[in-house]
């Protein structure tokens, strides 16, 4: 699944370069797309597969980080749970933009989903008793980069993805026994629904649509 996500993202990135195709404009995310003004909520997920065409290192860094954490988490969680973690984290990143950024903000990139992988890994490693020092340092550095003036990086998406990934990690840990599999599935369905509702309500409130 890790390599499939990398492949899909790379393919979409190539499509973004085709003149006149308008892939970036069709798939980027803004909080206004969570409202009835421009009701296109699917962009909260499609934007995860887009990257900046003006800065090649944007996709390179994200895919490298996905490769690192994917190799760690996917064998541990399984393909289905890993995919759920990635997509829910990406959605949470978009909701983070809705909650913490201006309604006119425009974002794209897999950073929210990537931070979700980090958040889940932190939760899982803490439970397993692994050494957390290096992971905390890496996480702190990546979070701090989002606050650099002029860097044009959405710390809001980072924070949202981190929280979403940590919640998914917690769900997966607390429902590990086979007897709790039904609860696990239910919670993994309920969490993105709750995120979507929060996104719609906050975005609508911010633009005065309620």
Active centre residues (catalytic): 111, 158
3-state secondary structure of 108: coil
* CA–CA distance, 209 with 186 (Å, rounded to integer): 31
**Plot region of 28 (φ>0 → left; ψ -120 to 50 → alpha; else → beta):** beta
* Structure tokens, 185: 């599935």
Distance CA(58)–CA(24), nearest Å, equals 15
Distance CA(81)–CA(173), nearest Å, equals 12
Q: Cα–Cα distance between 181 and 134 in angstroms, integer?
A: 32
């Amino acid at each position: 699944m890790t390599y499939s996500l990398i492949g899909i993202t790379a393919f979409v990135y190539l499509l973004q370069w085709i003149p006149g195709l308008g892939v970036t404009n069709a798939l980027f995310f803004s909080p206004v797309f969570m409202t009835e003004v421009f009701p296109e909520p699917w962009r909260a997920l499609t934007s995860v597969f887009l990257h900046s065409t003006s800065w090649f290192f944007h996709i390179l860094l994200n895919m490298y980080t996905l490769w690192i954490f994917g190799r760690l988490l996917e064998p541990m969680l399984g393909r289905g749970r890993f995919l759920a973690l990635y997509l829910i984290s990406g959605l949470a990143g978009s909701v983070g933009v809705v909650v913490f950024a201006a309604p006119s903000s425009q974002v794209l990139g897999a950073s929210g989903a990537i931070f979700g992988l980090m958040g889940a890994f932190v939760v899982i490693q803490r439970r397993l008793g692994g050494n957390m020092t290096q992971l905390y340092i890496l996480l702190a550095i990546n979070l701090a980069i989002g606050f650099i003036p002029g860097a044009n990086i959405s710390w809001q998406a980072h924070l949202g993805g981190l929280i979403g990934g940590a919640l998914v990690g917690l769900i997966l840990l607390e429902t590990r026994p086979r007897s709790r599999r039904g609860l696990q599935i239910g919670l993994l369905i309920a969490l993105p629904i709750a995120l979507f509702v929060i996104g719609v309500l906050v975005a609508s409130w911010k633009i005065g649509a309620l």
